[in-house]
């Protein structure tokens, strides 16, 4: 029933373990197969609407806790991290939930045209796995934060309490058993959705970015070998410059297709990246403050802080890698060896056309490719450093107020 990515030849893709968990744990965001029955489509939509209502309930009781303790900074900040994460994921997750058919089409194009397999390019494939290692390890950090909530029922039994997983204030007596058990189950469900969304979607974006980056690397490699291939076929031929132009236009078509896929990624993820980066400053500030004030009692905040911090760093590094690779491509067009072709080609008219073509290409593709959040945040390490600097500035302000 759930969509399983396939390569161009129809074979199933072996998904990384964080993406696999994202697929099976997050029915809100993961798309269905094309051939599912109308019953499953109706069931999926009902689950989305019910899930949205559950998130709205958690939004209200989390916010009520923050307002209830607005005169006590320490207690208010205990509920602020879960509330901020809840709001962020409610916006990101349900925006994806109502547009996940487009997300599926993007994945289908990615695995059919962009994905670099271990059989076709073993060296590049190993490099991609190495680049994604930090994101994979950080996914473990998020899972550890989720596992901490499984200790809450244990403490409830030991100390004869009926605490919820998060800091919440209800407008009714939620400790009554027939209220408490369903609400606790909803707490766990929301926790799985949030956790899987945090590490799952970022691993999906990372995969898309690094395989796209690998395609740009292959394009750059072919550009470097372009003149040598033309000269190896024929030297001092009147068609030498014509041959280079034909091959260069083929590479340009590949470049245009890669840029079109990058633009499609931008349209798909721009909104969610915007809200992810927008909430990151506040989250890092509050999580860091709670971890600083009492690190042993607030161990879960320390784990969440480390997860968010290293998530941003890993995401920024992947974005900077793609930005640098595409930024170097304009130089690669200039360095493709066209001057050797002009030197050996006796056809002056075609030589002029070739030089004009090289000049236009350099001008057109001088702008590097990078994902953005509504053109406001650019996914690069530089943008991440600015977010972290802003978070620590707010942290210093909170520390001075305490």
Percent over 70 (pLDDT), the chain: 96
Per-residue pLDDT of 218-239, as tens digits, reads: 988 888 887 677 776 665 566 7
Per-residue pLDDT of 122-149, as tens digits, reads: 999 999 999 999 899 889 888 888 887 8
What pLDDT band is residue 202 in, cutting at 50, 70 and 90?
Answer: very high
Q: What is the rounded CA–CA span in Å between residue 335 and residue 221? A: 11
Point out the least confidently predicted range of 206-215, 308-317, 341-350.
341-350
Residue with the bigger pLDDT between 335 and 2: it is 2
Per-residue pLDDT of 361-380, as tens digits, reads: 887 777 888 888 888 888 88
Q: Which of 89-98, 154-163, 305-314, 347-356 has the highest mean pLDDT?
A: 89-98
What is the model's pLDDT at position 124? 93
- Put simply, whether the predicted model's pTM sits higher than 0.85 gets the answer yes
What is the model's pLDDT at position 297? 60
Hey, where are the domains in the chain? Answer: 1-103+147-195, 202-402
Per-residue pLDDT of 61-112, as tens digits, reads: 999 999 998 888 888 888 888 899 999 999 999 999 989 999 999 999 999 9
What is the model's pLDDT at position 240? 78
What pLDDT band is residue 270 in, cutting at 50, 70 and 90?
Answer: very high
Burial class (CB in 10 A: 0-12, 13-18, 19+), 267: exposed
What is the model's pLDDT at position 356? 83
Percent over 90 (pLDDT), the chain: 40
What is the model's pLDDT at position 93? 92
What is the model's pLDDT at position 123? 93
């Amino acid at each position: 029933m759930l969509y399983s990515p396939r390569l161009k030849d129809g074979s199933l893709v072996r998904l990384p373990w964080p993406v696999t968990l994202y697929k099976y744990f997050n029915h809100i965001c993961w798309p269905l197969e094309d051939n599912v029955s109308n019953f499953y489509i109706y069931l999926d939509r009902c689950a989305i609407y019910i899930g949205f209502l559950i998130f709205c309930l958690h939004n209200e009781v989390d916010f009520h806790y923050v307002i209830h303790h607005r005169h006590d900074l320490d207690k208010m900040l205990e509920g602020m991290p879960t509330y901020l994460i809840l709001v962020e994921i409610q916006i990101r997750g349900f925006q994806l939930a109502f547009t996940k058919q487009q997300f599926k089409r993007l994945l289908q194009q990615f695995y059919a045209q962009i994905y670099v397999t271990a059989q076709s390019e073993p060296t590049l494939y190993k490099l991609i796995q190495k680049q994604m290692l930090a994101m994979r390890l950080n996914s473990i950090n998020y899972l550890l934060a989720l596992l901490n909530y499984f200790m809450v029922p244990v403490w409830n039994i030991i100390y004869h309490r009926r605490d919820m997983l998060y800091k919440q204030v209800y407008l009714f007596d939620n400790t009554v058993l027939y209220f408490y058990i369903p609400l606790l189950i909803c707490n766990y469900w929301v926790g799985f959705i949030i956790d899987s969304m945090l590490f799952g979607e970022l691993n999906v974006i990372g995969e898309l970015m690094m395989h796209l980056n690998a395609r740009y690397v292959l394009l750059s490699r072919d550009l470097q070998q372009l003149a040598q291939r033309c000269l190896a076929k024929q030297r001092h031929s009147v068609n030498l410059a014509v041959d280079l132009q034909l091959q260069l236009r083929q590479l340009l078509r590949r470049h245009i297709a890669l840029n079109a896929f990058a633009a499609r990624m931008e349209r798909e993820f721009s909104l969610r990246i915007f809200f992810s980066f927008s909430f990151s400053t506040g989250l890092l500030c509050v999580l860091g403050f709670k971890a600083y004030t009492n690190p042993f009692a607030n161990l879960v905040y320390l784990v969440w802080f480390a997860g968010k911090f290293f998530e941003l760093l890993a995401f920024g590094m992947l974005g900077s890698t793609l930005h640098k690779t595409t930024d170097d491509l304009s130089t690669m067009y200039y360095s493709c060896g066209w001057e050797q072709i002009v030197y050996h080609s006796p056809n002056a008219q075609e030589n002029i056309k070739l030089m004009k073509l090289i000049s236009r290409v350099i001008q057109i593709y001088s702008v590097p490719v990078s994902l953005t959040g509504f053109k406001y945040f650019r996914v690069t390490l530089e943008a991440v450093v600015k977010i972290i600097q802003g978070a620590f500035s707010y942290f210093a302000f909170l520390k001075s107020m305490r």
